[in-house]
Amino acid sequence: MKNAPSCVIADDHPLMREILRMRLEQAGIEVVGEARDGNDAVRLVDQLHPQLALLDLTMPGITGIEAIANITLLEGSTRTIMYAAGVSAQDVQLALDAGASGYLDKSSAMEMLEMAIQTVLAGGSFIDPTVARALLDPPPFSITAREMQVLGLMTDGLQNKQIAQQTALSIETVKSHVSSLLIKLNAHSRTGAVTTAMRHRIVS
């Protein structure tokens, strides 16, 4: 597909990836990579630099929200859309806070997917009307992309010095992010913050 917009899709179900590929190709999008987990999605985006990445919310490894946060931190201009089964105000807000440009329910019609892709590739943001209703309730958390990255490393058991080395941040900056996370997650310890994050599916 010459000059067709490029896209990486991420979903742990092979059938869903096949359906997504067909729907995207019908919309004039070239699928240049398929990932079955969040880590693979980030790797493919970093390697292929697609214009768009369409990610499932729940996948093995890191979640779709964590993957979007990591993609947001990469050099490049890849736009991201969360494509999830079921909707909650928390998931929608977390995805947007992580850097997603769009959020769609998997039950959305083909026309809605095409509209979302066109809007996001044009530099705009798109929220499925059925998803937008979930935003009427105030979000319980508002975690930035950098905080999401630090939280993911905390979940892996890394301490501040190790996180600083992994992220190229100063230890003081890491400590600031950790303190902010404790406040936002209403936790009294790193373990408590990670536990709360896992319970709310912010990380896995």
Q: Model confidence over 132-185: pLDDT tens digits?
A: 665 655 556 778 888 989 999 999 999 999 999 988 899 999 999 999 999 888
Torsion-angle region of 21 (φ positive above 0: left; ψ -120 to 50: alpha; else: beta): alpha
What is the chain's percent helix, strand, coil content, to nearest 5? 50, 15, 35
Kindly tell me if the per-residue pLDDT of 118 is higher than 60. Answer: yes
Q: Model confidence over 29-50: pLDDT tens digits?
A: 999 999 999 999 999 999 999 9
Query: Could you give the CA distance from residue 145 to residue 97 in angstroms, rounded to a whole number?
Result: 7
The pTM for the full model equals 0.68
Kindly tell me if the per-residue pLDDT of 2 is higher than 60. Answer: no
What does the pLDDT read at residue 1? 47
Q: Between residues 108 and 167, which one has the greater pLDDT?
A: 167
Kindly tell me if the per-residue pLDDT of 128 is higher than 50. Answer: yes
What does the pLDDT read at residue 87? 66
Q: Model confidence over 63-101: pLDDT tens digits?
A: 899 999 999 999 888 999 998 876 667 788 888 889 999
Q: Is the dihedral of CA 178, 181, 187, 191 positive or negative?
A: negative
Could you give the domains of the chain? 6-136 (3.40.50.2300), 145-199 (1.10.10.10)
